[in-house]
Amino acid sequence: MNSAIGTPKEVLDTPALCIDLDVLEANIMYMAQAAHSMGVGLRPHSKTHKSPAIAHMQLAAGAHGVTCAKIGEAEVMARAGIRDILIANQIVTKDKIARLMGLAAYTDVMVAVDTAGNIADLSAAAEAHGVTLRVLVEVDIGLGRCGAMPGEDSLALARLAHESKGLRFEGVMGYEGHTVMIADEDERRRATEASLMLLTGTADWVRSAGIDVKIVSSGGTGTYKITGAWPGVTELQVGSYGTMDVQYYENVGMKEFNYALTLAATVVGVKGSERAITDAGIKSLTKDFGWPLLIDPPGWELTGLSEEHGWLTRRGGAALRPGDRVTVVPTHGCTTINLHDEYHVLRDGRLVGVWPIAARGKVR
């Protein structure tokens, strides 16, 4: 692969996952300023970009920590020198709890809990390892996935965590995953606010029991304005805003950001004048929310993906030939990024960096 600094985008070997650094910086800065103006902290979710380089940019712009989905992702961030890490899921098995103790010893890791049994396991492990582990009680605020029921159940867990040796109860978290992609803004706001009441209401309930709640963490890119402005929320777990994707920009309408993430592909064949075939199929671009968006050349549309090929249909554009380049925006950044080993980082169309997607595939 041609990866010399200064290489023009047009000669990068393809399929090449590309980051426009100007746009990435602008997206990161926009969210940082929005959070600042709302008076809420930022703990960007690294499950989207899976890159310590991007996490460090977010921290430099004012984020106070990162969020991870998996302990393997947290280890990647820790190895890159990041200390304030939230694993926003439950760590329930013996092997993983042992790894979590390692993180607790050398970073300020924090983990979500939603059962008394897990709190007991974590407490015993922390005591045995001589560490203090920070925990947030996860509250199910309507997604119906993980998390304890709001109110009484969550309070009982908060109390247990607060009283457990080896643990430090820091607060509560939720995730309004069922509202972040509601296309209609008013509907999204109403559904999100109904969720957040369950979260901040639970936090207040815990406080009224005499237990300090420092952190109330929630939010996704689609709800950052709602969740960030909600009284009592202390930090946002937004992930997709940095790289952006078609689902959030076009379908959810987050037009204050721009596409930093694109895929460069190459035409490998044409069928008459109306169809062209590229070298980028579903092993390069996921289709979780429909076909990715072809933005260059104009007058062509991506209308299909097989495993190793993209199918383009002419919509009035000039003829394509084998070897021609095309640019596609992923529909879903999180899953598309997770297919690739590195970002080709570009400024003004020239390669300025090749960043490993270091947490790619860290499902454990």
Q: Contact between 100 and its own copies (CB under 8 A)? A: no
Cα(61)–Cα(59) distance, integer angstroms: 5
Site stretch for its own copies (CB under 8 A), options 182-190, 212-220, 294-302, 330-338: 330-338
What one-character-per-residue DSSP string does 254-308 give?
A: -TTS---EEEEEEEEEEETTTEEEES--TTTS--TTSSPEEEESTTEEEEEE-SS
Cα(218)–Cα(174) distance, integer angstroms: 5
Q: Contact between 90 and its own copies (CB under 8 A)? A: yes
Select 34 or 325, whichever has its Cβ closest to its own copies: 325
Q: Which spans in 164-255 are helix H?
A: 185-208, 224-229, 246
- Cα–Cα distances in angstroms (integers) from residue 311 to residues 116, 123, 283, 329, 339, in the given order: 51, 54, 14, 15, 19
Judged by CB under 8 A, the residue of 298, 322, 348, 349 near its own copies is: 322
What is the smallest separation between the CB atom of 284 and its own copies, expressed in angstroms? 5
Q: What is the DSSP code (8-state) at residue 364?
A: -
Number of residues that bind its own copies (CB under 8 A): 56
160 membership: H or E segment, kind and range? helix 152-163
Q: Which spans in 20-150 are helix H?
A: 21-38, 52-60, 71-79, 94-106, 116-129
Three-state secondary structure call for residue 185: helix
Q: Contact between 192 and its own copies (CB under 8 A)? A: no
Q: Contact between 204 and its own copies (CB under 8 A)? A: no
Could you give the maximum distance between any two Cα atoms of the chain, in Å? 73
Site stretch for its own copies (CB under 8 A), options 33-41, 144-152, 195-203, 252-260: 144-152
What is the smallest separation between the CB atom of 61 and its own copies, expressed in angstroms? 24
What is the smallest separation between the CB atom of 313 and its own copies, expressed in angstroms? 12
Interacting residues with its own copies between 274 and 303 (CB under 8 A) = 275, 277, 279-280, 282-284, 288
Site stretch for its own copies (CB under 8 A), options 181-189, 252-260, 312-320, 337-345: 337-345
Interacting residues with its own copies between 252 and 271 (CB under 8 A) = 266-269, 271
Burial (Cβ within 10 Å: 0-12, 13-18, ≥19) of residue 105: middle
Residue 245 tokens, joined:
């994707």
Site stretch for its own copies (CB under 8 A), options 24-32, 114-122, 154-162, 191-199: 114-122
What sign results for the dihedral spanned by CA atoms 312, 318, 323, 329? negative
Q: Contact between 3 and its own copies (CB under 8 A)? A: no
Residue 257 tokens, joined:
């950001």
Interacting residues with its own copies between 34 and 53 (CB under 8 A) = 47
Select 316 or 323, whichever has its Cβ closest to its own copies: 323
What is the smallest separation between the CB atom of 186 and its own copies, expressed in angstroms? 25
Judged by CB under 8 A, the residue of 18, 42, 69, 213 near its own copies is: 69
Q: Contact between 306 and its own copies (CB under 8 A)? A: yes
Radius of gyration of the chain (CA): 22
Q: Which of 221, 227, 145, 147 is nearest to 191 (CA)?
A: 227
Judged by CB under 8 A, the residue of 4, 6, 117, 186 near its own copies is: 117
Cα(38)–Cα(3) distance, integer angstroms: 41
Judged by CB under 8 A, the residue of 37, 60, 64, 145 near its own copies is: 145
Positions that interact with its own copies (CB under 8 A): 1-2, 11, 13-16, 47, 69-70, 89-90, 92-93, 95-96, 114-115, 117-118, 140, 144-147, 177, 266-269, 271, 275, 277, 279-280, 282-284, 288, 306-309, 311, 322-323, 334-335, 338-341, 360-361, 363-364
